[in-house]
Amino acid sequence: MTANLQQSMLEAIETELKRQVSRLDQPHTKPFHEMLMYHMGWTGEGAGAQAAGKRIRPLLTLLSVASVFDGNKEKKSNNMNWLHAVSIAASIELVHNFSLVHDDIQDNSELRRGRKTAWVKWGAPMAINVGDALFVIANQAALDLKEHYPADMVVRAASILNGCCLELTQGQYMDMSYEERTDLVIDDYWPMIGGKTSALLSACTQIGALIGYAQDEKIELYRLFGYHLGLAFQVQDDILGIWGDEALTGKSAASDLVEGKNSLPVLFGLEKNAEFAKGWRQGPILPNEVGAVAKLLETEGSKAYAEMKSEEETQKALGYLQQANPQGEAGAAILGLANMLLKRKQ
């Protein structure tokens, strides 16, 4: 049953994403439209489900909508269902993809999900514009809610979305500015990933609850669930980026160390200011050093600390979810999705 609901949602999301992006399918801008289609994973070499990604954010949004509906039979019978919310779910996925396209330019990343990034294919100037268009269409998709919801709710959803986008740019600023710093401590970590990872996940659950006609108190519980889910997810990602199993993560273990990523384990080590910190400040870690450095970090207590934090945030997220009390099939699916994200080995 749950698998069917999720499958129906994923199909509706994909259809809506294509419809939204087709705004660029006009006589003078067909190749531009094609660039967005490629990035979204629908066309070009390597197109397909793998290239498109898992659409976790729009799925979490629709499950949030439906898990309130399920508990509100009166509203549901009033012909409102998750399908009406698909434009805001698409909007959030488009925001995510706008940030990916610009991130790839900023990080000089040549591959995304195994395929050439937009800037590699068409150059940075075009790719900047591809990202901009994805963000514009994200806003248009959010405003499309007006077809099915009262205008004041649309304004509120769009405000939450853009508030989250500002946090994204702030997280991105911190991430980039940290690259030149060697004086970072753990307190520098949380606002960065709060912006880069948690803001958008919390927008999914917060907007979903809003659109599901939840009361303000419940909307806040959904928001907190999404926010801490994001923190737990990111810390776990940081752990896997250093100590993960190559066969499962699909990237070389400890590549985060070679790339100099300011992850939680690294900032713990820098704050501790012992052997690891000395080495880190002397310059980039070479590929043949990563095993020893990862071991050193673990010895200094970094892995245990990060695992503790990941568990703390996981418990917070699950606690808020329990309080939010999501209903029915969608409610069960949210818990399943959270467990999949938080206990994943890849």
Contact residues for a second copy (CB under 8 A)? 23-24, 26, 28-29, 31-32, 102, 105-107, 124-126, 128-129, 131-133, 135-137, 139-140, 143, 146, 150-152, 154-155, 158-159, 162-163, 165-166, 168-170, 172-174, 176-177, 188, 191-192
How near is the Cβ of 282 to a second copy at its closest, in Å?
Answer: 24
Residue 153 corresponds to which tokens in the numbers above?
Answer: 């709710």
DSSP 115: E
How near is the Cβ of 333 to a second copy at its closest, in Å?
Answer: 31
How near is the Cβ of 194 to a second copy at its closest, in Å?
Answer: 9
Separation CA 37–CA 233 (nearest Å) = 28
Separation CA 199–CA 168 (nearest Å) = 7
Residue 273 corresponds to which tokens in the numbers above?
Answer: 């200011």
Of residues 168 and 297, the one with the C-beta less far from a second copy: 168
CA atoms within 13 A on the CB side of 306: 26
Of residues 102 and 303, the one with the C-beta less far from a second copy: 102
Of residues 167 and 300, the one with the C-beta less far from a second copy: 167
Of residues 105 and 338, the one with the C-beta less far from a second copy: 105
How near is the Cβ of 162 to a second copy at its closest, in Å?
Answer: 5
Give the three-class secondary structure for 201. Answer: helix
Residue 30 corresponds to which tokens in the numbers above?
Answer: 């067909």
Q: Is 62 exposed, middle or buried (0-12, 13-18, 19+ CB in 10 A)?
A: buried
How near is the Cβ of 7 to a second copy at its closest, in Å?
Answer: 31
Of residues 177 and 273, the one with the C-beta less far from a second copy: 177
Biggest distance spanned by C-alpha atoms of the chain: 64
CA 81 to chain centroid: 24
How near is the Cβ of 108 to a second copy at its closest, in Å?
Answer: 8
Of residues 162 and 255, the one with the C-beta less far from a second copy: 162
The gap between the terminal CA atoms of the chain, to the nearest Å, is: 25
Q: Where are the alpha helices (DSSP H) in 22-150?
A: 30-40, 49-52, 56-69, 73-77, 86-106, 118-122, 124-143
Of residues 176 and 340, the one with the C-beta less far from a second copy: 176
CA 323 to chain centroid: 23
How near is the Cβ of 159 to a second copy at its closest, in Å?
Answer: 5
